[in-house]
Amino acid sequence: MERKFEILDALPTYGPMYIPVTGDDESYFSQGFTVKFFKDDNTSWVANFKPGWTGLNAVYDFESSFFILVIAGGTCYLMNPNNSKPIKVFGVGFESVIKALDGKLILQNLTDITVFETNGDHWTSERISWDGLKDLKLEGHLVTGLSFDPMNDKVEWAKFVVDLEKRSITGGSYRQYEFVPISYDSRKINKWNFFKKLYNRIFKLKGSTQQRV
C-alpha cells in the first residue's frame, strides 16, 4: 500500500512553503505538528497543524477509507491527503488513545471519552469525571478506568465503565453527585450539602498547602 503521510521533525527549510492547518481558518506560523502528505497525483505537500492543549501527537491511517486522522497537541483533524482544508476538527485536550481491534479509536481527555469510528463519525460520552481520568482499558465493547473525585478524602479515584454499544456509563465520580429532583426542598438540601462539602474540601487543600510552604 502506498504511503499517505510522513511525520516530520520540523518545518521544512527549503522547497514549497508549508500550509498552516487550523480549526478556525486563521494563519498559524509557529512550529506545530508537521506532517507531509502524499497526493494521488504523486505530488506532496506539508501541513503545519496548530496544536491543542496537550502533548499528544499522532497520525492514524484507515485502510478502507481515504481519510487520515491527525492528532496535534490533543486536537483532532480529519484530513483528506489531497486537500489542505480539514474535513472536520474536534477536541483540544485529548491525552491518550486506545485503538480497538476493529480500528475505532477511544480518545480520552480530562472529563469524558470520545469514540472515533472507522467511517469518520465520532461521538462523545456524557461527563464521567470532575477533572481527571486514568488507567483506561478496553475489553470487548467495554471501556473501564478511574475518574478523579475531589470531594472524597478516602477514595479519590472512582471506577467507571462505558458500554460502547449502548453508549451508557456506569459509575464515575461526576455521576456520584447528580441531583435527583424528588422535591424542591430536597433539591435545596442536596445542593447545600454538595457545595458545603466542596467548600470545605477546597479550604482544606489550601490549608495543607500553606503548611507545606
For 169, half-sphere exposure in the C-beta direction (CA atoms, 13 angstrom radius) is: 22
Strand order in the sheet with 168-171: 133-139, 142-148, 157-163, 168-171
More confident position, 170 or 205: 170
Q: Is the pLDDT of residue 114 over 90?
A: yes
Q: Which residue has the cell 480518545?
A: 107
pTM, whole model, 2 decimals?
A: 0.82
Question: First and final CA of the chain: distance in angstroms?
Answer: 59
Q: Given this model, what pLDDT does residue 138 score? A: 98
What's the confidence (pLDDT) of residue 32? 97
Q: What integer pLDDT is reported at residue 189 of this predicted model?
A: 44
Q: Which residue has the higher pLDDT, 3 or 52?
A: 52
